[in-house]
Amino acid sequence: MRQHRVFSPLTWPVYSFLAVILLGACALKLPASRMPGQTLEWIDAFFISTSAVCVTGLSTVDVSSVLSPLGHGVLLALIQTGGLGVMTYTSLIFLLWRRAVPFTSREAVSQALLGNTFDLRRFIREVVAITFGIEALTAALLHACDPAFFTPFRAFFHAVSAFCNAGFALRPDNLMFYRDHAGVNATVCAAVILGGLGFTVLRETLGILSGGRFGAETRSYSRYSKLVLKTSAALTLGGALLLFLIEWLRPGNEGHMGEGPLLGMVSLFHSVVARTAGFNTVDISAYSEASLLVLCVLMFIGGGSGSCAGGIKVVTFRVLAGYIAAQCRNERQIVLQGRGVPQENLTRALTIFFLYSLLIMASTLLLSLSESGILDRSGGGDVPLLRLMFEVVSALGTVGLSINFTSELTDFGKGVVIANMFAGRVGLLALLMAVRSLQSARQYDYAESQLPIG
């Protein structure tokens, strides 16, 4: 029975991600994956592999100069695998190999991606078609914007990196060269947004646009999709407005951030990528601390469930906001889109919120100990707390933005960030459920007694 629980459907995704990360690190360590004269330590190979599979975008080395074309191909494969999800890929392998997926795997895929029973064959076909369709269109648009840099391979690499919300770029400055290029900004933003909505929303959108012939057989958005779309739009526009106002009121930074319409485009771009992908068109360290806090909030919230994005997810945030609003109105029930929210949903939302908050605090503490030289008693000096927290939130939210700090991490610090990237990609709730599946349930309850709260 114990062995059955260790290899239950709830633990299967965890093992799958770990296996792909290990294989990716080994592939990146191959001499052919590096440029001549370049070295890559094992810890850095694991870091980059984890970042790629967890579609984060953080890197301890400059992948554009350290990795060879083969290494870039390995990185692209890891990003694509992580973006679609190891569970989806392994289900496809089972489907082709055995012509059927075991019931437990079918149930696990259903609960993780759609929450309902569905035709797995049709679902996989739609996932592959939607993903490669959007990536192909994005690659074509990027190639049209700048054929000199965005060669067919580079265009497809950045298209996959954008849709899978990875944020890896094959330029040392990421996308800072294209700060003023409206076409590249718009194309990348559109791909990132679509990748962060989730396959449920994309399937319904395709069904609506095609009159039900493709995607979901529907002519209107479901309650869930409406929540995702409305909340995502509010967060994106609200974040862009805050970033614009803060940097517009801040004098002396026009050279880095731009001004007027350019500042508006920069603010909108980073509001989009902060919730899901780690591209940047300006040096993140040029932002004020107030703007960095705004970016931290956006990274903490993330994108839609079942998407390539991380964070606590937009519906979780909307449930929590609805709970606070209901408490202020002295109402017992949370009402979203004309329907009440079950108590189970609120319990899960609160659990996710507190798990993410506690992990951020614990990881920031560990980084403050390791990066200031306290652990090894080297006395390297204190690192600003916001800088450490930004790195942790970016890793846990699988975003990939950094205040030029990732390459300076100690090996212990890299391990902390790797753990956060993995937890953020698999999901803290999924990890909690996997741990719970290993335990035997208690068959009795204790007598309850009221406690003073507040």
pLDDT tens by residue, 15-64: 888 888 999 999 999 999 999 988 899 999 999 999 998 888 888 888 98
pLDDT at 301: 93
- State residue 378 phi and psi, 5-degree precision: -85, -20
Alpha helices in 302-342 (DSSP H): 314-328
pLDDT at 119: 63
Closest CA relative to residue 92, chosen from 109, 78, 75:
109
Residue 173: HSE in the Cβ half-sphere, 13 Å Cα cutoff: 8
The total of other beta-carbon atoms located within 10 Å of residue 329's CB is 7
> Taking a C-beta distance cutoff of 8 angstroms, is the pair 277, 165 a contact?
yes
Q: Alpha-carbon distance 280 to 277, whole Å? A: 9
210-237 per-residue burial string, b: 16 or more CB within 10 A, e: under 16: eeeeebbeeeebeebbbbbbebbeebbe
pTM: 0.86
Question: Could you tell me how far CA 280 lies from the centroid of its own chain?
Answer: 15
Q: Alpha-carbon distance 318 to 392, whole Å? A: 23
Q: Alpha-carbon distance 164 to 52, whole Å? A: 10
Q: For the chain, which ranges sit under pLDDT 70? A: 1-11, 86-121, 378-380, 434, 436-439, 441, 454
> Taking a C-beta distance cutoff of 8 angstroms, is the pair 320, 353 a contact?
yes
